[in-house]
């Protein structure tokens, strides 16, 4: 019956295993006693061997009990070395008893019977000290004060058991050792379980009632089996609804459930603190959203200001580029000598201003530009120059990518040159060419000439034949 009660009462797996080992060793001892007294004669070889085998359970039960007690210590690691060291003294003593016929250190024999020797007393002392140490460890590691107050019961069992064993030592015919020690061991284990030094599922109902779980257990029909003191009374409808989904009994109390084997568990959660935190978080989120809106508006204003500053800088730069030209245009239009010629000349200069501004804006955005931009600009100003009765022609023989500053410098050179000599100019031919990573701007003028300056990146060459002047402006380019 004690074995079946272990399966029912002990939940922890390793504790159950240790207790079963102790119990089966006690049964093994009773079996040896039965064989010794019923199937062998006194002091025969077979009788002595069965007698020596008594000490297998006697030497294995105490370390098993000690390992059981140690396993209940907090943060205890049951390593294989710890277990082996716990069993080592018992194994050595057991071997000495089993080999007693070789050395007679446990028992010596006389014609009148036998005598106890030193190994026997070592076994008895080791058993008593190991069991006492195990009970002390259980007392120290037990977290329940009520169980500690009742610990005098197992200690009394040890003392009374020791008295029985001593009495049996002097009056061997009154008790048999296996019966006495088996009774003491079972009584000791039962007392440890009953007082709570060895954890069991006894009084779980009381533990559940006094716990702070705020829960109750029901059977499959909804009948309450166990209820904690903090559990709230609810209606049958709330129970039924709680099986399907969590139910809010009020703003802060939530009822949840879980199906178990044979019924349901319902528990209550107080969400007051969580709701308070959520409200505070919502308030913080609203404040953050307002601050984010302000930051976005501030960033928009800063971006607009930056855009306006950049536009102003570009307009100022453009104005500096064309300020002198606009002044000359104003003077020409205010006092024209030949209205038609003045209008044609002014149209050419307006085209030059427009193209200069367009290229300047492109150069602000990109570091490199296609030479086609230069070609479009030159072709347009030559078209307007043709309207002033000056024959002009443009030929494009290849495109490439140029540094923006070089492209703008090439345009400014030809624009300023044509503006300076347009009164004496009889004809103009402009040709662009790209070959072997070199971009060339060739200019041929009839009846006029102008001066060009070299820069770090632009090479200028000039040739003159009778009434013709030839210019070549060269700069490094890249393939498109």
pLDDT band at 92 (very low <50, low <70, confident <90, very high): very high
For residues 194 and 202, give the distance between their C-alpha atoms in angstroms, rounded to a whole number: 8
Predicted local confidence at residue 351, as pLDDT: 82
Q: Which of 89-103, 308-322, 361-375 has the lowest mean pLDDT?
A: 308-322
In the prediction, which pLDDT does 81 show?
Answer: 74
Q: Return phi, psi of residue 141, to 5°.
A: -80, -15
Q: What would the mean pLDDT of 143-160 be, rounded to a whole number?
A: 77
How many other C-beta atoms are found inside a 10 Å radius of the C-beta of residue 304?
Answer: 10
**Residue 204: pLDDT band with limits 50, 70, 90:** low
Give the global pTM. Answer: 0.46
Q: How far apart are CA 201 and CA 417, in angstroms?
A: 109
Torsion of CA 286, 289, 291, 297, to 10 degrees: -150
**Of 37 and 331, which is predicted with more confidence?**
37
Residue 395 pLDDT class (50, 70, 90 cuts): very high
pLDDT one-digit tens code per residue, 36-66 = 777 777 767 788 888 888 888 888 888 988 8
| Mean pLDDT of all residues belonging to the chain | 81
So what's the pLDDT on residue 442?
92
Confidence of residue 331 (pLDDT cuts 50, 70, 90): low
* C-alpha span between 437 and 367 (Å, rounded): 18
For residue 28, give the nearest of 62, 55, 66 by alpha carbon: 55
pLDDT higher than threshold 80 for residue 7: no
Average pLDDT over residues 453-477: 87
- How would you write the chain as a 3-class SS string? CHHHHHHHHCCCHHHHHHHHHHHHHHHHHHHHHHHHHHHCCCCCHHHHHHHHHCHHHHHHHHHHHHHHHHCCCCCCCCCHHHHHHHHHHHHHHHHHHHCHHHHCCCEEEECCEEEECHHHHHHHHHHHHHHHHHHHHHHHHCCCHHHHHCCHHHHHHHHHHHHHHHHHHHCCCCCCHHHHHHHHHHHHHHHHHHHCCCCCCCCHHHHHHHCCCCEEEEECCCCEEEECCCCCCCCHHHHHHHHHCCEECCCCEEEEEEEECCEEEEEEEECHHHHHHHHHHHHHHHHHHHHHHHHHHHHHHHHHHHHHHHHHHHHHHHHHHHHHHHHHHHHHHHCCCCHHHHHHHHHHHHHHHHHHHHHHHHHHHCCEEEHHHHHHHHHHHHHHHHHCCCCEEEEEECCCEEEHHHHHHHHHHHHHHHHHHCCCCCEEEEEEEEECCEEEEEEEEECCCCCCCCCCCCEEEEEEECCEEEEEEEEECECC
pLDDT at 174 over 60: no
CA 62: distance to chain centroid?
48
| Averaged pLDDT for residues 418-439 | 88
CB contact at 8 A, 425 and 379: no
Per-residue pLDDT, 428: 92
Q: How confident is the model at residue 332 (pLDDT cuts 50, 70, 90)?
A: low
Q: Which of the given ranges, 46-55, 188-197, 394-403, 454-463, has the highest pLDDT on average?
A: 394-403
The pLDDT-based confidence of 197 (bands split at 50, 70, 90) is confident
- Residue 439: what pLDDT? 92
Over range 82-93, report the average pLDDT: 85
Is pLDDT of 431 > 90?
A: yes
Q: How confident is the model at residue 444 (pLDDT cuts 50, 70, 90)?
A: very high
Packing angle of the helix pair 55-70, 80-98 (nearest 10 deg): 160
């Amino acid at each position: 019956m004690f074995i079946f009660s272990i399966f029912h009462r002990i939940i922890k797996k390793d504790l159950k295993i240790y207790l079963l080992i102790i119990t089966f060793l006690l049964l093994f001892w009773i079996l040896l006693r039965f064989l010794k007294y019923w199937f062998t004669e006194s002091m025969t070889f077979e009788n002595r061997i069965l007698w020596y085998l008594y000490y297998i359970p006697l030497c294995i039960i105490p370390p098993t009990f000690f390992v059981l007690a140690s396993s209940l210590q907090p943060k205890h690691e049951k390593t294989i070395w710890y277990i082996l060291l716990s069993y080592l003294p018992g194994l050595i003593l057991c071997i000495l008893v089993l080999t007693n016929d070789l050395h007679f250190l446990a028992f010596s024999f006389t014609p009148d019977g036998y005598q106890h020797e030193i190994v026997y007393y070592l076994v008895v002392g080791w058993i008593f000290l190991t069991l006492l140490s195990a009970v002390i460890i259980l007392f120290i590691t037990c977290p329940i004060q009520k169980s500690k107050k009742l610990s005098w019961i197992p200690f009394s069992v040890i003392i009374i058991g020791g008295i029985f064993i001593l009495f049996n030592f002097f009056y061997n015919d009154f008790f048999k050792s296996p019966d006495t020690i088996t009774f003491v061991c079972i009584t000791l284990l039962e007392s440890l379980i009953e007082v709570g030094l060895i954890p069991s599922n006894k009084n779980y109902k009381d533990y559940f009632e006094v716990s702070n779980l705020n829960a109750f257990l029901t059977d499959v029909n909804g009948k309450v089996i166990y209820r904690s003191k903090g559990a709230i009374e609810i209606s049958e409808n709330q129970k039924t609804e709680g099986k399907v989904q969590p139910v809010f009994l009020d703003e802060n109390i939530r009822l949840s459930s879980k199906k178990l084997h044979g019924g349901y568990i319902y528990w209550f959660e107080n969400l007051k603190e969580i709701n308070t935190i959520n409200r505070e978080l919502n308030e913080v989120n609203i404040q953050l959203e307002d601050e984010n809106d302000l930051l976005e508006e501030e960033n928009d204003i800063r971006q607009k200001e930056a855009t306006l500053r950049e536009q102003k800088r570009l307009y100022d730069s453009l104005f500096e580029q064309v300020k002198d030209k606009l002044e000359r245009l104003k003077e020409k239009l205010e006092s024209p000598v030949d209205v038609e010629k003045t209008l044609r000349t002014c149209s050419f200069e307006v085209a030059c201003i427009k193209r200069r501004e367009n290229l300047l804006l492109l150069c602000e955005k990109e570091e490199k530009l296609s030479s086609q931009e230069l070609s479009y600009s030159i072709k347009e100003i030559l078209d307007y120059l043709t309207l002033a009765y000056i024959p002009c022609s443009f030929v494009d023989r290849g495109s490439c990518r140029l540094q923006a500053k070089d492209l703008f410098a090439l345009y400014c050179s030809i624009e300023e040159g044509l503006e300076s000599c347009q009164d004496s100019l009889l004809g103009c031919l402009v040709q662009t060419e790209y070959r072997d990573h070199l971009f060339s701007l060739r200019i041929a003028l009839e009846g006029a000439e102008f001066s060009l300056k070299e820069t770090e990146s632009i090479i200028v060459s000039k040739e003159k034949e009778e009434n013709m002047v030839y210019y070549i402006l060269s700069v490094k380019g890249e393939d498109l």
